[in-house]
């Protein structure tokens, strides 16, 4: 990783994209491009983080994020150890702080944390010496998802963000993915639109640098990409939605909608997808879908994130 001779990564932790300058984001994505190339080789493992250890502490269920961090660590030759809330002492009444301190006493280089509480990653990062990477905290932030989405769009848009328009569609109210993407993309010059039922928008949305729509037909006109969100039924209170069939009728992205977008407009979804509810099944699999590209990007960008944070101390920072 020759770039590191000229760029010293300044952050102990990755808690939110708001802490990153655009220069740092660009450097992270450039680093991910190198790892993406490695992931295309017949032999995908490199000794970059040999001897380093990464703890995957997921107190909420996860498939894509947890697996991609595990794959990322292993491809860098790090030792990865997985822990869930059901298999930790949290089920016995131990506090998050004490669990984190116990893990740090084992001297890991990075702890990757997913937790249902807003600010959980910052809480432990302030108390631990090892690097902490936020893999999603409540409805607050999901920086690594925003970074992999950014990587996906950078490739689709030839690294030209300014003047592009992105529609984020669906359950914005409960989406940490939407919040992190809005923060990063608007700073890069992307015009962001939101489309959702009024009940699925946060109360503070009118203070955000976005355009708000409730009619999907109008919201999709002329956009360069659409990012569908998962309908997070597990986070919602009764009364926020009509019948699911009514939601699908009004807010499920279909081919008819995409005919009003710009030619070649890309389709993204952080997963898992509820086909026929959030996105039509044929769109999820069409040529302009970047859903599987997002999965590949997740491995490459998380390799870059682990590399930059696990080796920071080695560079005298």
Ranges 6-10, 24-28, 30-34, 37-41: which has the least confidence: 6-10
pLDDT band of residue 191 (cuts 50, 70, 90) is very high
Residue 291 has pLDDT above 80, yes or no: yes
Backbone φ, ψ for residue 118 (5° rounding): -60, 135
The mean pLDDT of the chain is: 93
Tokens of 254: 């279909």
pLDDT in tens, 220-262: 999 999 999 999 876 555 567 768 899 999 999 999 999 999 9
In this prediction, what percent of the chain has a pLDDT beyond 90?
84
The pLDDT value recorded for residue 184 is 98
Provide the residue range defining the domain that includes 156: 143-290
Residues in the chain: 317
> pLDDT at position 240, please?
75
Q: Same structural domain for residues 136 and 188?
A: no
The 3 state secondary structure assigned to 90-138 is: HHHCCCHHHHHHHHHCCCCCEEEEEECCCCHHHHHHCCCCCEEEEEEEC
Q: Say if residue 37 is in the same domain as residue 165.
A: no
Residue 221 CB burial class (10 angstroms; 0-12, 13-18, ≥19): middle
Same domain, 129 and 156: no
**Distance between CA 30 and CA 76 in Å, rounded?**
17
Rounded to whole angstroms, the Cα distance separating 60 from 80 reads 18
DSSP letter for 272, please.
-
116 annotated as a binding-site residue: no
Has residue 89 got a pLDDT over 90? Answer: no
Are 69 and 132 members of one domain?
yes
Considering the domain architecture, whether residues 123 and 169 belong to the same structural domain is answered as: no
CA distances from residue 164 to 218, 219, 225 in whole angstroms, order as listed = 17, 14, 8
Q: Is 10 annotated as a binding residue?
A: no
302 annotated to a ligand binding site: no
- What is the reported pLDDT for 83? 84
Residue 142, annotated as binding a ligand:
yes
58 and 111 co-located in one domain: yes
Tokens of 160: 């030209």
Distance of CA 268 to the CA centre of its chain: 12
The CATH number given to whatever domain includes residue 197 is 3.40.50.1370
Residues with Cβ within 8 Å of 123's Cβ and at least 6 positions away in sequence, in order, are: 96, 97, 117
Least confident of 39-43, 160-164, 177-181, 241-245: 241-245
Does 113 score more than 50 pLDDT? yes
64 is in an annotated binding site: yes
Instruction: Identify whether residues 160 and 37 lie together within a single domain.
Output: no
Is 176 assigned to a binding site? Answer: yes
**Residues 153, 191 within the same domain:** yes
Other Cβ atoms closer than 10 A to 81: 16
> Same structural domain for residues 24 and 54?
yes
258 and 311 share a domain? no
41 is in an annotated binding site: no
CB 78 within 8 A of CB 306: yes
Q: Which two tokens stand for residue 167?
A: 């529609």
Residue 93 is labelled as binding a ligand: no
Question: 114 a known binding residue?
Answer: yes
Question: How many domains are contained in the chain?
Answer: 2
Nearest to 145 by CA among 84, 204, 230, 83: 230
Report whether 144 contacts 65 (CB < 8 A).
Answer: yes
The answer to whether residue 70 scores a pLDDT higher than 70 is yes
Q: 111 and 32 in one domain? A: yes
Confidence category of residue 51, pLDDT binned at 50, 70, 90: very high
Beta strand residue intervals within the chain, DSSP E: 53-58, 79-84, 110-115, 131-137, 165-169, 191-195, 211-213, 225-228, 266-268
The verdict on 177 and 234 lying in the same domain is yes
DSSP state of 312: T
**In this predicted model, what pLDDT tens digit does every residue of 132-153 receive, in sequence order?**
999 999 999 999 999 999 999 9
Q: Positive or negative, the Cα torsion across 74, 273, 139, 97?
A: negative
């Amino acid at each position: 990783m020759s770039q590191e001779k000229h760029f010293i990564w300044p952050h102990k932790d990755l808690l939110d994209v708001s802490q990153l300058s655009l220069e740092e984001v660009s450097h992270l994505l450039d680093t991910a491009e190198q790892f993406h190339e490695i992931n295309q080789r017949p032999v995908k493992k490199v000794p970059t983080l040999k001897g380093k250890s990464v703890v995957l502490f997921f107190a909420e269920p996860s498939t894509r994020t947890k697996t991609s961090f595990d794959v990322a660590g292993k491809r860098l030759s790090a030792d990865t150890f997985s822990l869930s809330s059901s298999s930790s002492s949290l089920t016995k009444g131990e506090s998050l702080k004490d669990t984190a301190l116990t893990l740090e006493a084992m001297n890991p280089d990075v702890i990757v944390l997913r937790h249902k509480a807003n600010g959980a990653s910052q809480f432990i990062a302030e108390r631990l010496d090892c690097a902490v990477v936020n893999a999603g905290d409540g409805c607050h932030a999901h920086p690594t998802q925003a970074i992999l989405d950014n990587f996906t769009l950078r490739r689709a848009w030839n690294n030209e963000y300014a003047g592009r328009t992105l529609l984020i569609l669906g359950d914005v109210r409960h989406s940490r993915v939407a919040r992190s993407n809005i923060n990063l993309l608007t700073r890069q010059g992307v015009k962001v639109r939101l489309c959702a039922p009024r009940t699925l928008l946060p109360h503070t949305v009118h203070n955000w640098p976005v355009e708000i729509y409730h009619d999907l037909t109008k919201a999709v006109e002329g956009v360069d990409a659409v990012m569908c969100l998962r309908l997070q039924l597990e986070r919602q209170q009764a009364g926020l939605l009509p019948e699911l069939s009514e939601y699908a009728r009004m807010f499920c992205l279909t081919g008819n909608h995409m005919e009003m977008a710009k030619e070649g407009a890309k389709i993204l979804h952080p997963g898992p997808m509820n086909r026929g509810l959030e996105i039509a099944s044929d769109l999820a699999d069409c040529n302009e879908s970047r859903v599987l590209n997002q999965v590949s990007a997740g491995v490459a960008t998380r390799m870059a994130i682990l590399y930059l944070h696990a080796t920071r101390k080695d560079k005298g920072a």
